[in-house]
Chains A and B, each alone.
Chain A
Amino acid sequence: MSVLATLVTAAQPVPVPAPPAPAATITQPPISYPAIMPILIILGAACVGVLFEAFLPRHNRIAAQLVLSVLAILVAGWRLLSYADEMPETGTITLGRALAVDKPTLVLWATLLVLTIGALILMADRTVERGGYFVADAAVRPGTVQDRAQAGRGEMQTEVFPLALFALGGMMVFCAANDLLTMFIALEVLSLPLYLMCGLARRRRLLSQEAAVKYFLLGAFASAFFLYGLALLYGYAGSVQLSDIANAAAGTNRSETLLFGGLGLLVVGLLFKGSVGPFHTWTPDVYQGAPTPVTAFMGACTKIAAFGGILRVLSVGFGTTSWEWRGVLWGVAIASMVIGAVLGLTQTDVKRMVAYSSVAHAGFLLIGAIVLKPAGLSATLFYLVTYGFTTLATFGVIGLVRNADGEATHLSQWAGLAKRSPLVAGTMAFLLLALAGIPLTSGFVGKFVVFQAALSDGMAPLVVVAVLASAVAAFFYLRVIVLMYFSQPAEDGPTVTIPNLWTTGVLTVCVLVTLFLGIAPSLVLDWTSSGVFALQ
């Protein structure tokens, strides 16, 4: 009866409405602008980059974009450094607890900024590949008459620069996200530009577009997993804040199905981005198909952002329940190391080989991430710094070895490279030794601190597996070195293209950092162990 009465009332002409109630006051959350200034600068510069694309004539764009992006990163880095001095010891939680700017965040941000400058300079190189690594007009169908016509034009799609800045902004938010919704938005902001950038290669366009589509489809699934996990966790804790989830999980007797179901799905999304273990299947295809500077950017920066997020989620959000889920991530870490090391052995393409090496490295990183103590955090951050520089340089060098068809990535083409170009072969050998973790390189120190942290937390079996896996992985790195130094070069083998001064500079810096961190790591180790995540 009452329902009918309601309907009848609704149908009647509404009586004179009461004056609207005074609007509820909405208190604006305090915003610490100095803390988030680096993000604002990067995203703002990306927007300006889009305007450059719209209004600048084509021949001016590449220089303008490069100057804008590098300048923005330098200014962001300067703001970051000046904020590092005034930041409170426990970090700043701002924007209504959405972002946490603390010591690990600053370490991750600084590393991301430096590595992105390197990647941008690699992307802007137009001497190695005439006209640039990127296609002149990505919308033209590969293999058509128009495609052959544009291949001769010395132009490139300069949208990569604003796209890279948007991705960088997303990565920075991802590392600092203190609640899962912010983290999800950041995940999308960092992923979508990368999907596009993967499909922009000048050569082997079908392979490149295939990589982009694969990455997009699998990435969309991973995002859906993440979002589903987020929803279940919200159902459990009634909040998407990481610290609220930790508090809800501590000391209640409610069913934990939602908590661990949610965590499982959430972690799948995160591990996918970090190309860990059984969620790595996109990695070789995408690393191989994407333009090499983009692969360098992805290999270095996406890994850092993903593990920054994993570290924060696990230690802030799920530190209180670690004894329940840690066993599962033990298994994932072992799977990742074994998959990376064993499948890396069978690869015949250099880029795919380094992709599998990155899967193995993701396993090592995961060991550090599940230590959940300051030692583990500092070790993982250090490992990320070393891995980022080494990977950037490795892909930079891979882009230099070319024949008439573009990059010569098949392993057999690298035979005898040392006789043609001792410098490039030597650099590559050094970088591969660093990836393998040989002493006097940063890779050794990175592995050492991670294994040490794991041992101190009672994960000796995991460390044994990790050492075995790195021994297996060392075999395929050494195989390339043997191939370069002890094989006869083929008659029509590839040559090494001399890059421009800027690219040479980036490669030199990365190699020097790899060497320096292998000899005197304490400077960076002090920096990465200077603070822990802000818990609030």
Chain B
Amino acid sequence: MYETATILAQPPAPGGPGDLKSYLPLILLFVLAGAFAVFSVVVAPLVGPRRYNKAKLDGYECGIEPSPQPVVGGGRVPVAYYLTAMLFILFDIEMVFLYPFAVTADALGVFGLVEIFLFIATVGFAYAYVWRRGGLDWS
């Protein structure tokens, strides 16, 4: 309580927490993003050619159409996707740790290198399990 009151009473220090000017680039970015979206939607129909076909009505990058009846998998969305999704998450998480390692690799030295290879090995164990158990067979 006291601390908040003290902060508000003082004039904001430049670049400090009370200095709202430092948020201006962020606000500008939001404005730009909004303007770009509006611009694309309004201008594209005006200047672009109009050729209608079936593919234009599909969901964009959304996988298999679930209705009325998907073609593959005997009329059902194949549940085997979940394995792919889980493998994807596995390697995605691995990447999340590899980037900060790569940035600081020289400071971390040999110890860091050994550790990151141990980490990759543990992810490799999971991968070997999925591979040997047929998780990658698409039948």
Contacts and interface: CB of A to CB of B under 8 A. Distances in A.
A51 B106 CA distance: 32
A144 interface: no
A523 interface: no
B84 interface: no
B56 interface: no
A28 B111 contact: yes
Contact of A23 (B106, B122, B126, B128): B106
A3 B19 CA distance: 14
Given A23-B107, A28-B111, A254-B3, A47 B133 contact: no
A253 B129 CA distance: 55
A505 B126 CA distance: 34
A110 B28 CA distance: 59
A26 B109 CA distance: 9
A405 B8 CA distance: 72
B1 A255 contact: yes
A24 interface: yes
Given A54-B133, A55-B132, A255-B1, A26 B107 contact: yes
Nearest to B106: A23
A7 B31 CA distance: 14
A50 B107 contact: no
B67 interface: no
B128 A54 contact: yes
A283 B128 CA distance: 35
A95 B108 CA distance: 15
Size bracket of the A interface: 10 to 19
A3 B25 contact: yes
Interface string A24-38: 111010000000000
Nearest to A47: B125
B25 A51 contact: no
B107 A51 contact: no
Size bracket of the B interface: 20 to 34
Contacts of B129: 50-51, 53-54
A253 B2 CA distance: 10
Interface string A245-269: 0000000011100000000000000
Interface string A395-421: 000000000000000000000000000
A3 B28 contact: yes
Contacts of A50: 125-126, 128-129
A426 to B, nearest CB: 44
Contact of A51 (B28, B108, B111, B128): B128
A24 B107 contact: yes
Interface in A40-87: 47, 50-51, 53-55
Given A50-B126, A51-B125, A255-B1, A25 B107 contact: yes
B131 interface: yes
Contacts of B24: 3
B131 A26 contact: no
A249 to B, nearest CB: 16
B136 to A, nearest CB: 12
A255 B1 CA distance: 7
B10 interface: no
A489 to B, nearest CB: 46
B122 A47 contact: yes
A26 B111 CA distance: 11
Nearest to B130: A54
Nearest to B129: A54
A54 B106 CA distance: 35
A6 B122 contact: no
From A3, A24, A54, A255, name the one whose CB has the most chain B CB atoms within 10 angstroms: A54
Contacts of A47: 122, 125
Nearest to B132: A54
Interface in B119-139: 122, 125-126, 128-129, 131-133
Nearest to B79: A139
B106 A6 contact: no
Interface string A437-452: 0000000000000000
List of 4 A-B pairs having minimum Cβ-Cβ separation, nearest first: A54-B132, A23-B107, A54-B129, A26-B107
Interface of A: 3, 6-7, 23-26, 28, 47, 50-51, 53-55, 253-255
7 contacts: A3-B28, A7-B25, A26-B104, A26-B107, A51-B125, A53-B133, A255-B1
